[in-house]
Amino acid sequence: MRLRVLAGILAWLVGLQGARAQQPSDTPRQVLDRAAQLQAKGDSKGAIRELKAGRDAHRNHERIHHALALAYYQDGNAFWALKTLRDFEESHPPACASRALQVWIHVQQANFDLAQEILDEPGCDTPDFEAARVALLRATIASQHRDAASVNDYLEQARQASRYYEEDFSLLQALTARFDPGRMPVISWRIDLAGGWTSNGLAGSPVDPADVGIDSQSPLLQLDARLRVVIPASRAVRPVWEGQIRTLELFSATVRALSYRQPSFRAGILFGDRMPRLLLAYGFDAVQVAGSDRYEQGPLWYSEGHRFDYELEVTDLFFAFGGAGHRTYRESGRTRFEGEHGLAVVLPFADSLRLMTGISARWNNAANEAYDSQGGTALGQAQYRLPEGFEARLNGSLSYDRYPRSRGYFPGSLGEARSDMLVRVKPGLWSPSWSGFRVGLDYEFSHRDSTAANYAYQDHRVLLHGVWVMDGDRFGVGLIPAENRQPLPHGVSSAQLETDETRIRDLMQQDEAVKRGSSCLN
C-alpha cells in the first residue's frame, strides 16, 4: 500500500514537471530584456545564464546568440564568445552578422590575420549593406596598421552602397574624418525656416530708422537657405560655387516696409587637400526692401556689394577669414569701400560640450564721411548635448562700431560722434536630428546703446526653427536601424558625430551683430 502511494506521488510530480515543460517559453524579447537588466546591475554571470537558457529555447534566434557572445566577451571569456558565434554560423550559413561580430572580437584582441580569414570567406558580398560592412571592417583593420591608402580604398568601396547598417554609416563618417579630412561632398545645403515674433521690427533694419517711437512689434517669418557646390577637379585645386538667399518678412503694418530679401553668391577656388586649406572667392550680394521712397514705389533694390574674400582653415579648430570690396547704396552718401578680418576657434571641452568663439574687425570708408566707421565683434556659441539627442545652445555677442567723423550728423546725437554698443544673448533648445532635419526653439535678446539716440533699441525675439542640413554623400542613403538586431559595437555613434550643422564661418555670418556692422544691415 505504501509503495502504491509513493508511486502515485512520483507519477504526479513527473506529470507536473511535464506540464510545466509544456508551458510556452519566454519570448526572445523577454529573455533579452532580463539579460540587459542583469548586465546593468553588473551581474554578468546571471546575464549569461539567462541568455544560455534563451539560446536553448530559441536556437534560430541570432540576436540571442549575439547577446550571449557579447556577454561572454565582456566577462573576459573570448573563447566562448567566438564559439557561440561559430556554432550559429555553422548551423545558419552564411550568418553574415555573426561573422562580423567574430571579426570585431578578433580586432579587439589584435588577431588581425584571423579577422582577415573570416572576411575572405565568400557569401557576404551581397546585399550592398553587407558588402559595405565587409569593406568597413577591412578599413578598420588597415587603420590599426596605419595604412591610410588602404583605408581610403576600402572607404571608397563602402561608399558604393545605397544602404548601411546605422552604426556602419557612423563608422564610415568617422574613418573619413580621420583618414581623409580633405574629402568634401560635391553638393551640400542648409535650409533654415523660422517663424515667430519680435518686439521691435526696427532692429536690424536695412535702412536708417525714420519712425522711432512707433509700435514696431510684429510676427515674422525668416528664411536662410544656402547651397554649396565643390567641383572635384583635383584634390589640390577645386572650384567652389555658393548661393544663398536670406529673407525677413514682417507682418505688422507699421514695419512691413522693412521686410527684405538678400540674395548672394560666391565663386572661387579652394586650394589644398588637407589642412591648411585656402579659399579665394569673388562674392556678390544685394538687398531688396519691401518699402517705397519719395522717388519710386517699392519693393526697391537698396544696395549691392562686390567683394573679394578669403577663408583660411588652419586646422579643424582654427579658422581665419576676411575680405574687402565696394558696396553701392540707393542712398548715395552711404556708398562705401569696406573690409573685414576675423579669427575663429572651436574649443571641444568634452564629448558633450563644444564652444565656438571668434572675433572680427571691420572698417568702412563711405562717400559721406559721416558714415565712415570702424568696429569689431566678439561672439561665441556653446553647445551641450543632452540625453536622447537633444541639444542646448547659448549664443552671445558683443559688437562695437564708431563713426569718428559724424559729429552732429545723426538724429539724436546732440553734437557727438556716433558710437554703438550692441549686446546680444540667445539661448535655445534643439531636437535630435532626423535625417538631417532638426527643430529648434530660441529666444533672442538684443540691446543697443548709441550716442545717437535714434539708433538705440531693445528687442525680444522668439523663433521656432526648422533646419534641414544635407549633402550629396548622405542624401538618399538608407539606414537600417538597430531595432531587432544586435548592432556592432564600433564605439562610434551618430550622436557623437552630430556636432552642429553650423560651421565656424556660418556662426560668424549668421550672427546679427556681425551682419548689422559688416554689411548694409546697420
Once rounded to an integer, what is the mean pLDDT over residues 39-60?
A: 90
Query: Mean pLDDT, the chain, as a whole number?
Result: 87
CB 193 within 8 A of CB 466: yes
In a domain, residue 226? The reply is yes
Whether pLDDT at 174 is above 60: yes
pLDDT, position 49:
92
In a domain, residue 346? The reply is yes
pLDDT, position 207:
67
pLDDT, position 6:
47
pLDDT, position 521:
36
In a domain, residue 60? The reply is no
Integer Cα distance of 375 and 21 in angstroms: 83
pLDDT, position 37:
92
In a domain, residue 150? The reply is no
Question: Burial, 14: exposed, middle or buried (Cβ in 10 Å; 0-12, 13-18, 19+)?
Answer: exposed
Cell of 416: 557727438
**% the chain with pLDDT above 90:** 65
Question: Burial, 120: exposed, middle or buried (Cβ in 10 Å; 0-12, 13-18, 19+)?
Answer: exposed
Would you call 213 helix, strand, or coil by DSSP?
Answer: coil
pLDDT, position 327:
97
Q: Which residues pair with 315 in a beta bridge?
A: 318
Q: What is the pTM for the complete model shown?
A: 0.82
Range of the domain at 511: 187-518
Model confidence over 182-194: pLDDT tens digits?
A: 888 999 999 999 9
CA 171 to chain centre: 16
Once rounded to an integer, what is the mean pLDDT over residues 170-181?
A: 90
Secondary structure in 3-state letters for 143-159: HHCCCHHHHHHHHHHHC
Q: Which residue has the cell 562686390?
A: 306
**% the chain with pLDDT above 70:** 87
Model confidence over 276-304: pLDDT tens digits?
A: 999 999 999 999 999 887 778 879 999 99
C-beta contacts of 469-472 below 8 A and 24+ residues apart? 469/188, 469/189, 469/190, 469/191, 469/436, 469/438, 469/501, 470/188, 470/189, 470/435, 470/436, 471/185, 471/187, 471/188, 471/189, 472/185, 472/186, 472/187, 472/188
Model confidence over 347-394: pLDDT tens digits?
A: 888 878 989 999 999 999 999 999 999 999 999 999 999 998 899 999
| pLDDT range class, residue 411, cuts 50, 70, 90 | confident
| pLDDT range class, residue 413, cuts 50, 70, 90 | confident
Once rounded to an integer, what is the mean pLDDT over residues 339-345?
A: 93
Model confidence over 203-235: pLDDT tens digits?
A: 877 666 555 567 789 999 999 999 999 998 888
Instruction: Count how many domains the chain has.
Output: 1
Q: Which residues pair with 279 in a beta bridge?
A: 270, 311
In a domain, residue 261? The reply is yes
Burial 338-347 (b: 16+ CB within 10 A, else e): bbbebbbbbe
Model confidence over 121-139: pLDDT tens digits?
A: 999 998 999 999 999 999 9
Once rounded to an integer, what is the mean pLDDT over residues 319-324?
A: 94
CB atoms within 10 A of CB 50: 26
In a domain, residue 59? The reply is no
CA 304 to chain centre: 32
Whether pLDDT at 504 is above 80: no
pLDDT, position 297:
84
Q: Which residue has the cell 549575439?
A: 66
Q: Which residue has the cell 552604426?
A: 167
Whether pLDDT at 242 is above 50: yes
Domain containing 241 — which CATH number?
A: 2.40.160.40
Backbone φ and ψ for 132, nearest 5 degrees, come out as -65, -40
Once rounded to an integer, what is the mean pLDDT over residues 386-413?
A: 91
| pLDDT range class, residue 9, cuts 50, 70, 90 | low
In a domain, residue 277? The reply is yes
Question: Burial, 46: exposed, middle or buried (Cβ in 10 Å; 0-12, 13-18, 19+)?
Answer: middle
Question: Burial, 103: exposed, middle or buried (Cβ in 10 Å; 0-12, 13-18, 19+)?
Answer: buried
In a domain, residue 137? The reply is no
pLDDT, position 21:
37
Is the C-alpha dihedral spanning 504, 505, 506, 507 positive or negative? positive
Cell of 449: 546703446
pLDDT, position 517:
35
Model confidence over 507-518: pLDDT tens digits?
A: 666 554 434 433
